[in-house]
Amino acid sequence: MVDIPQEYVDANARFVLVKAREKRAFEPNWESTANYDATSPILQAHIAAGGNYGVLSHNGLCVIDIDDSAEYAKYNSDLARKTLCIMRGTSGRGHIYFLCPDIPDGKRTKIETTFGDVRLGGNFYVVGANCVHPSGDTYNIVNRVPIATIPFAEIAIFFEGAKERTGEPTPFNLPDQIREGTRNDTLFRYGCSLRALGRDASEVNCLIRNANNTLCKPSPIPEDELIILIQSVLKFEKGNVVIPQRPFPAPPRPQPEANANLAIPANYVVVTENQRTGVRTVRLDTAAYAEFLTNYFSIKYFNKVIYIYDHGRHYYRPQTNEINTHVRDTCIEHGVSEKLNLVFKIL
């Protein structure tokens, strides 16, 4: 069973529930009401059942989340020996906990750096000690000492120095509120900035979902759209992407404007004539026509649902008979002899 270290308890830490071998808090409103102290029966029962838990950056508790230990060592290689330090397996990645009572109000947030991030408060958490990462690694305590109190001036070098001394991508700063009409574009750019800073897939998924649930007002992006957005971000390799200057998502293939002629190329229509009876048969080159439809609508297929790109709103959405209508109109226009269920053959 996962054990909660006494060092967390002594620092008045708050905890959230995370599923076994996962990193995402699954209870709604975990950042405000669905979090617990170490003695909570709910938390204890969850851990006893094999679940993971997360440690909130609340009550003055802060965390340095290290993704690149070599880069981190450039700024302060001694801090990990002064306070509680956790490492994920032998990866060199981990968490350094500290208390910082004099953080300025404007800095109580998460600061992205070239080696990871510094979480100085706000609605953030990290997976706790003795939990199991999705990779199978365990978060092990490597320096078991009380969580130290560190003045803000000493911590500031981590984000101020990292930004000044490196040419790494600049993080995308989320607004306090993401309004409808800008949700997809804002979260896509945010996700790309996380990939540029080397965040792995589970972290990107967690952080985008957190921003969607807490910042998108009056309502978050629906789950089906959010899945496609996250998948689009994760197509970029870690450290090899810059924040796009175009809206999310960029159309993967050229598509005509909505009022353009929908006619397909003439060579997609195949006409044959029976020399004995003289009967003409009109059919479509289904392979070519399928490629045409895929390009025209920028078709994506996920979880048994067909999505098309909506250029007016700049996001993918489930098709509402647009493809079927195009097939029907094409068949009628060219006198195609096949039945109108041709769409099922094509898709």
Which tens digit of pLDDT belongs to each residue from 282-299? 777 777 777 777 777 777
Q: Are residues 239 and 273 in the same domain?
A: no
Mean of the per-residue pLDDT values of the chain: 79
Token duo for residue 307: 């999505």
State the pLDDT at residue 114: 77
Question: Has residue 64 been placed in a domain?
Answer: yes
Q: Are residues 16 and 160 in the same domain?
A: yes
Question: Has residue 322 been placed in a domain?
Answer: yes
Q: Are residues 153 and 188 in the same domain?
A: no
Cα–Cα distance between 82 and 144 in angstroms, integer? 10
pLDDT band at 222 (very low <50, low <70, confident <90, very high): confident
Q: Are residues 277 and 151 in the same domain?
A: no
Which residues is 62 bridged to in the sheet?
98
Q: What is the CATH number of the domain that holds 96?
A: 3.30.2250
Surface-to-core class of residue 147, CB atoms within 10 Å of its CB (0-12 exposed, 13-18 middle, 19+ buried): buried
Cα–Cα distance between 181 and 106 in angstroms, integer? 27
Q: Are residues 89 and 28 in the same domain?
A: yes
Q: Which of 70-79, 164-173, 216-225 has the highest mean pLDDT?
A: 216-225
Q: Which of 71-85, 237-251, 305-319 has the highest mean pLDDT?
A: 71-85
Q: Are residues 28 and 152 in the same domain?
A: yes
Q: Are residues 156 and 185 in the same domain?
A: no
* Final residue before a domain boundary, out of 249, 279, 295: 249
Q: Is residue 252 pLDDT above 60, yes or no?
A: no
Token duo for residue 15: 């905890």
- Cα first-last separation, the chain: 48
Q: Are residues 84 and 17 in the same domain?
A: yes
Q: Is residue 344 pLDDT above 60, yes or no?
A: no
DSSP E strands: which ranges in the chain? Answer: 15-18, 52-56, 61-66, 85-88, 94-99, 110-112, 116-119, 125-127, 139-143, 148-149, 178-179, 216-217, 269-273, 280-284, 300-302, 305-310, 315-318
User: Which residues constitute the domain of residue 67?
Assistant: 6-168
Q: Are residues 35 and 135 in the same domain?
A: yes
Q: Are residues 177 and 52 in the same domain?
A: no
Domain count, the chain: 3
Q: Which of 76-80, 125-129, 258-262 has the highest mean pLDDT?
A: 125-129
Question: Has residue 1 been placed in a domain?
Answer: no
pLDDT band at 171 (very low <50, low <70, confident <90, very high): low
Buried b (16+ CB within 10 A) or exposed e, 123-133: bbbbbbbbbbb
Cα–Cα distance between 326 and 328 in angstroms, integer? 5
pLDDT in tens, 198-209: 777 877 888 888
Q: Is residue 107 pLDDT above 50, yes or no?
A: yes
Q: Are 66 and 95 in contact (CB under 8 A)?
A: yes
Q: Who's near 131: CB < 8 A, 6+ residues apart?
A: 2, 18, 52, 53, 138, 139
Which one is predicted more confidently, 252 or 272? 272
Q: Are residues 341 and 297 in the same domain?
A: yes
pLDDT band at 248 (very low <50, low <70, confident <90, very high): low
Specify the long-range contacts of residues 26-29, CB closer than 8 Å, at least 24 apart.
28/213
Q: Are residues 245 and 289 in the same domain?
A: no
State the pLDDT at residue 210: 83
pLDDT band at 337 (very low <50, low <70, confident <90, very high): low
Question: Has residue 257 been placed in a domain?
Answer: no
